[in-house]
Structure 1
Amino acid sequence: MVKKTTFFIVAATLLAGSMLGARAWAGSKWPYPVYINTAFRSAAGAVGSVRNSADGTQYISCRLYTSGTGNAVSCYANDAAGTFVSCTATAANYVTVMSAITSASHIQFSYDANGNCTELQVSTSSEWEPPK
């Protein structure tokens, strides 16, 4: 009887632990303020985290606009220290990626020395902090 009880307690503990572990992962939340790396010419940040920041300086955004020559995307980032970077792209694939941005997105972009976008990544996940 003691062996059965001990086995049951161990099994129940392992099951409960695995369920709690899964639950903790499912509810994970990651704040991600604006991070700018001028040496690598890149910027990143989660829209919600930036919106919720207390400093009032940070922002990250991408804008789509059109002119007589076609569509263009410009991305902008300003970190808590006041460092500002931006880039512009006219390739159609940038328009497609930019259109995926939501208030639950993480935006990352890279740029060259002339201010041309060389990469744009958008990640939308329940892990990114939403705007309050």
Structure 2
Amino acid sequence: MQSIWDQVSPLLSGIIVEIIKLLCVLVLAGFGYLQIKAKASIDTMKNKAQRELFHKICDEAFAFAEATFKNESSRNKMNKAFTYASSKLSDVGIKLSVEEITAAIEKACLDYNANKNKTLKDGDKAS
């Protein structure tokens, strides 16, 4: 019996060591997968926060141009709003194309006009 154990013991030890190696590889692969998922999640949250900040800055730029340059043409207002938004976005480290910034300012303008028209219509109904 002892001689059988002496022969089988090294084989069992080798099998146990290989199982432990396999488990370590699986655990490390799992950590790698979790790291990738966590990074993607963080990037998504960062991008969402940046988008929200971007739209707030463009809304602010539109409001600034609309209030400060009332008597100027809409093209001049857009240029002033664009300059303001570009400056603020570069201050916070957000880099976007000219088209994206312009589109966000235009959206702010459309939202403002829609709310303005809605307010006027609601005022007419109240009269």
TM-score in same-fold range (> 0.5): no
Which protein has the bigger strand share? 1
Task: Flag the structure with more relative contact order, 1 or 2, with Cα contacts below 8 A and sequence separation at least 6.
Answer: 1
TM-score, normalising length: structure 1: 0.35
TM-score, normalising length: structure 2: 0.37
Q: Point out the structure with max Rg over C-alpha.
A: 2
Which protein has the bigger helix share? 2
